[in-house]
Amino acid sequence: MKHILTDIEGTTSSISFVKDVLFPYARRALPGFVAAHGHEPAVRRWLDQVAAENGGLCQDEMIVETLQGWIDEDRKHTALKALQGMVWKDGYGRADFTAHMYPDAVEALKAWHAAGQAISVYSSGSVPAQQLFFGHSDGGDLTPLVSNWFDTEVGGKREAASYRRIVEALGVPASEVLFLSDVVEELDAARDAGLGTVLLDRREDYPQPRTGEATHGHARAESFADIRP
Ligand SMILES: CSCCC(=O)C(=O)COP(=O)(O)O
Ligand SMILES: [Mg+2]
């Protein structure tokens, strides 16, 4: 494999960091963020999209409530993800938290990069949120390891067409890309597009091992140390 494509939550990083630290932070900070920045075009664009999709909500307070509901449901909506990224920027900037990275992921990403393997990221988090995450991680600034960043602007993670677009953007044959994820439906879509796949089945995130039929036939690893690209 010449190119690694990795998911973040549940793959390089723990689900609990995202659910218990990042999401509650965004939930709390959204009202103040929208009040302070809602007039800026880069923010307004996403607020207006949420309003339009919800029958033309007219008050920012209602838009914020909608977004907070989506956070509670873990909706992977592009507008929510873009706004979350903007909110988290303050948190990282003030060193309220650093992004969790499993030590085995840090070690492997560094080793693969040093060996000349290209590494890209595909996450539901917006590209700016991904870059903040890797830039302020427990393992330090890991952004120099990553050559390309993809979010749901390329399409949903459970759709094969998204992986075809990614492969086209990377300019390599699908068979030379290895996608790493904790979600079998994402891996199914990547496999349909011709990519190699590995299911990350970390005990910290998935206490019940997913084996046999539960892997949908994907190679399975409990740590990046088990992956041989
Ligand atoms: C990298 S931004 C924080 C994570 C996030 O918001 C998210 O939805 C992660 O989903 P993933 O596709 O990485 O499982
Ligand atoms: Mg994931």
Q: Which domains does the chain have, with CATH numbers?
A: 3-14+99-226 (3.40.50.1000), 18-93 (1.10.720.60)
Pick the atom of ligand 1 nearest to 183's CA: 14
Give me the pLDDT at residue 84, please: 97
9 Cα–ligand 1 center, Å: 5
Residue whose CA is closest, atom 4 of ligand 1?
125
Question: Which ligand has its closest atom nearest to the C-alpha of 17?
Answer: 1
6 Cα–ligand 2 center, Å: 9
Q: What is the rounded distance in angstroms from the CA atom of residue 64 to the CA atom of residue 27? A: 9
**Is-contact 139 166, C-beta < 8 A?**
no
Query: pLDDT of the chain along its 229 residues, tens only?
Result: 789 999 999 999 999 999 999 999 999 999 999 999 999 999 999 999 999 998 887 799 999 999 999 999 999 999 999 999 999 999 999 999 999 999 999 999 999 999 999 999 999 999 999 999 999 999 999 999 999 999 999 999 999 999 999 999 999 999 999 999 999 999 999 999 999 999 999 999 999 999 999 999 999 999 999 999 8
pTM of the model: 0.95
Give me the pLDDT at residue 112, please: 97
69 Cα–ligand 2 center, Å: 20
Residue whose CA is closest, atom 2 of ligand 1?
125
Sheet holding 3-6, edge to edge: 148-150, 118-122, 3-6, 177-181, 196-200, 219-221
CA distances from 188 to 35, 84, 116, 156 (A): 41, 27, 27, 13
Three-state DSSP state, 9: strand
The encoded tokens of residue 84 equal 């979350």
Question: Which ligand has its closest atom nearest to the C-alpha of 82?
Answer: 1
The encoded tokens of residue 17 equal 């960091």
Question: Which ligand has its closest atom nearest to the C-alpha of 152?
Answer: 1
188 Cα–ligand 2 center, Å: 14
Q: What is the rounded distance in angstroms from the CA atom of residue 156 to the CA atom of residue 70? A: 16
Within 6 Å (CB) of ligand 1, which residues are found?
7-10, 18, 22, 76, 81, 84, 123-125, 129-130, 133, 157
191 Cα–ligand 1 center, Å: 21
